[in-house]
Amino acid sequence: MRNKKIEIKFLTENYATEADLKRAFRKLSKKLHPDNGGKTEDFQQLSAEYDYLEQRFEADRKRKAEEAARKAAAEERAKKRAAEEAARKAARKAAEEAKKKEKPAGDKFDRILASIPLLGDMVCRPNSKRTAVHVLYKGKRVFGHSGPILVVTREELLEGITGAEKKNYGWRVPVSEENMKTLQRNAKNLWG
């Protein structure tokens, strides 16, 4: 605990280090000590001044240690944030590289297009992810396709189709030349 401020008679508050303070105290204590002919009150005053200034140095040491600890903690947090950011950047870069190495969705789209025997005025348009196609006749959707099954969403187009199976999203129709011609004929009759 810090003593309350006292009047400094013998020592000064301008010592740069504790060693300087101690040196000055020893020098003065030899002069002011009662065994060497000094007054007891003066020696007690000198001791009180020394204790007071010693406590100030101690307080400064503690404050500097706390500041150093705060600074070290801040630097550690900054290093941790920088490491986390570097890890996030590396992960993003790795993900981008992996994405580049993956087969583009267009490959699947091209395979789907190759598996559909388009006839006449039918046109294929990719969905937003280029993983399936919508087959259109005069701008109207005839069916969707993403593999060996066509998904027909209008019942009027199913007349004469073989193997159609009702599902909650439409009718599943197997891909065949005959079914494609029938779908085209039905689309022409419906929208032609």
For 41-81, write each residue's pLDDT tens digit: 888 888 888 888 888 889 989 999 999 999 999 999 999 99
Question: Tokens in use for 44?
Answer: 């007690």
Which candidate, 7, 43, 37, places its Cα nearest to that of 25? 43
Whether residue 128 has pLDDT greater than 90: no
Q: Which helix (H) or strand (E) holds 51?
A: helix 40-101
The DSSP bridge pattern shows strands 133-137 and 140-145 to be antiparallel
Residue 15 vs residue 85, higher pLDDT: 85
Alpha-carbon distance values, 131 to 90, 107, 127, 183 (Å): 29, 9, 7, 22
pLDDT band at 3 (very low <50, low <70, confident <90, very high): very low
Regarding predicted confidence, which is higher, 142 or 68?
68
Least confident range from 6-10, 158-162, 177-181: namely: 6-10
